[in-house]
Amino acid sequence: MSRPKSAAAPPDSMTGSVAFDYAAPAEMFSIRSTLRGRRSMAYRRFATAAEAIRFVVEGSPPSLRFGVILEVLEQRLDHRAIRDLYNNAAYPFSRG
């Protein structure tokens, strides 16, 4: 079984900028390693991708962000794509 690829949103064909729906529902998957070497997975749903992005960037410690994957409209986003979307001018919330 191959691992799904994480990617940023595809570029908009007209402007070349990233087209992303911040209002779409999102699911967050987080893999954490315990002190004993075991891994656990956390799952959480968000009404909007913008809320999920804010939670990951502003509400979680930097060390845990590397194991986070957001799924938005069947697209998987890794920690780099999440940070890029947070820094994007189209991000709807003020940054904390």
Q: For residue range 26-79, what is the model confidence (pLDDT) as tens digits? A: 999 998 766 676 667 889 999 999 999 999 999 988 888 888 999 999 999 999
Query: Could you count the other beta carbons within 10 Å of the beta carbon of residue 79?
Result: 18
Question: pTM surpassing 0.85?
Answer: no
- What does the domain layout of the chain look like in residue ranges? 26-87
Judged by average pLDDT, the poorest of 1-5, 7-11, 38-42, 85-89 is: 1-5
Under the banding of pLDDT at 50, 70 and 90, the label for residue 16 is very low
User: Do 88 and 20 contact (CB within 8 A), yes or no?
Assistant: yes
Query: Could you count the other beta carbons within 10 Å of the beta carbon of residue 60?
Result: 14
pLDDT of amino acid 64: 83
